[in-house]
Amino acid sequence: MKIKMTKKKFTLLILLIFIIKSYAQVFDAYEIGVGVRIQKTEKLYWENGVGIDFTSNFLLQKKIHIKMSYATSRIGSAYNTNAIQQDNYVIGADWRFRSGKNFQIFAGVNTGFFHADMENIQFFSLPHNSMLFSLETGLFYKFKFPLATSLSVGYNMINGDGISTPGTLFPVFYQMSIFYYFGKK
């Protein structure tokens, strides 16, 4: 069953990329980045996943970037271990300082959905789901070829207390992303 869910999520991601690319072609100049994300929650799990970054000239001359990502401990700390399998579905927006340069600084806000898959029946009474709301800042570098990387630190404003929100939703996280960019310049 878990393999089918992974295939469904992957298929949905590919479909979403093609929809965004098709829609973005009506704009004069746009960039779409697709890549991998490595996330570390302070004093807890490694989570890995995928992300999409979109910008266009109509977004204040590419100063605003719209992003979506999926990160999971299923292909991080929980892979072949007894760590809790958790999923983060995030959508957000960043403001890029120095947007015309290769080296950029960014600050952004994210929201989304968090799910902790507590497989053992004794944990079913604990909260499994939470909304996400986080602030993030970091560094972004765009190479001369169509690759870019970013390092960031973020703070989840909704933290896990184990009573009303999942106890594995910690406040501080770090991310590294690598994107391949395509689109009209």
Give the pLDDT confidence of 78-99 residue by residue, as tens digits: 777 777 888 999 999 999 999 8
Q: Worst-scoring range by mean pLDDT, 31-35, 62-66, 160-164, 170-174? A: 160-164
Could you tell me what percentage of the chain is helix, strand and coil, using 3-state DSSP and rounding each to the nearest 5?
Answer: 15, 50, 35
Angle at 154 between CA 148 and CA 160, to 5 degrees: 140
In order, the DSSP letters of 46-89 are: EEEEEEEEEEETTTTTTTEEEEEEEEEGGGTTTTTSSSPEEEEE
Residue with tokens 């004093």: 43
Q: How large is the C-alpha radius of gyration of the chain?
A: 17
CATH number at residue 171: 2.40.160.20
What is the total count of domains within the chain? 1
pLDDT digits (tens, 9 = 90+) for 94-117: 999 998 899 999 999 999 999 888
Of all residues in the chain, what percent carry a pLDDT higher than 70? 89
Are the CB atoms for 90 and 110 separated by under 8 Å? Answer: yes
Lowest mean pLDDT among 88-92, 125-129, 178-182: 125-129
pLDDT at 3: 46
Contact 151, 138 (CB under 8 A): yes
Q: Which tokens sit at 167?
A: 């106890």
The confidence band for 28, taking pLDDT boundaries of 50, 70 and 90, is low
Helix (H) or strand (E) holding 15: helix 2-24
Looking at per-residue pLDDT, the higher value among 27 and 151 belongs to: 151
- pLDDT of res. 124: 74
Does pTM surpass 0.85?
Answer: no
The answer to whether 108 and 137 are in contact (CB under 8 A) is yes
The number of CA neighbours under 13 Å toward the Cβ of 135 is 3
Placement of tokens 């959905």 in the chain: 113
| Residue 156 belongs to domain spanning | 2-182
